[in-house]
Amino acid sequence: MTRVLVLNGPNLGRLGRRQPEIYGATTYDELAELCEGWGAELGLEVEVRQTNHEGDLLDWLNDAADEQTPVVLNAAAWTHYSYALYDACAQLVAPLVEVHISDPGQRPEVFRHTSVVTPHAATVIAGQGIDGYRQALEFLAAG
Ligand code: DQA
């Protein structure tokens, strides 16, 4: 079974409570459960993680590079300015799918219009809500 990491960056642990008008009512725990279920349906072994600490995410991406594990990544605010994240994503061997619940490109804050992840992503799924994660897993399962 193909193993897939679904990695989430800062503040996404507060899904369901954090700006629900933008990010929806689904909690992080519900998201993790949904991703595992979607993965099982697609024949993927999905592991979902979230951190508010950038070094954790970098370590997970370094491990994914060594283990050639496909990654679904919502790096949240780090997406927009972390060159360490850019470098960590650059070394990935297996496909990387960038996901955002909202569509940062359509939001008023100009800082959201830049992504350090996109240059390394096989595809970007944004503005699809939580379903974007399902679409990302589907993309990886399709190979
Ligand atoms: C986000 C969009 C980012 O701009 C923001 O900083 C987030 C969440 C999204 O999923 O829509 O924290 O990545």
Distance between CA atoms of residues 111 and 53, nearest Å? 20
The residue written with tokens 């399709």 in the block is: 142
Nearest partner of 126 among 107, 103, 98, 94, judged by Cα: 103
Q: Give the tokens for residue 27.
A: 């909690």
115 C-beta closer than 6 A to ligand 1: no
- Is pTM beyond 0.95 here? yes
Q: Residue 136: pLDDT band by 50, 70, 90 thresholds?
A: very high
Domain range for residue 92?
2-142
Average pLDDT over residues 63-77: 98
> Is the Cβ–Cβ distance between 46 and 38 less than 8 Å?
yes
Q: How confident is the model at residue 1 (pLDDT cuts 50, 70, 90)?
A: confident
Q: Tell me: pLDDT of 69 over 90.
A: yes
Q: Is the dihedral of CA 36, 40, 41, 43 positive or negative?
A: positive
For ligand 1, is residue 123 a contact (CB within 6 Å)?
A: no
Number of domains in the chain: 1
Indicate which CATH number applies to the domain containing 31: 3.40.50.9100
Q: Is 100 in the pocket of ligand 1 (CB under 6 A)?
A: yes
- The catalytic position among 80, 100, 120, 133 is 100
pLDDT at 127: 98
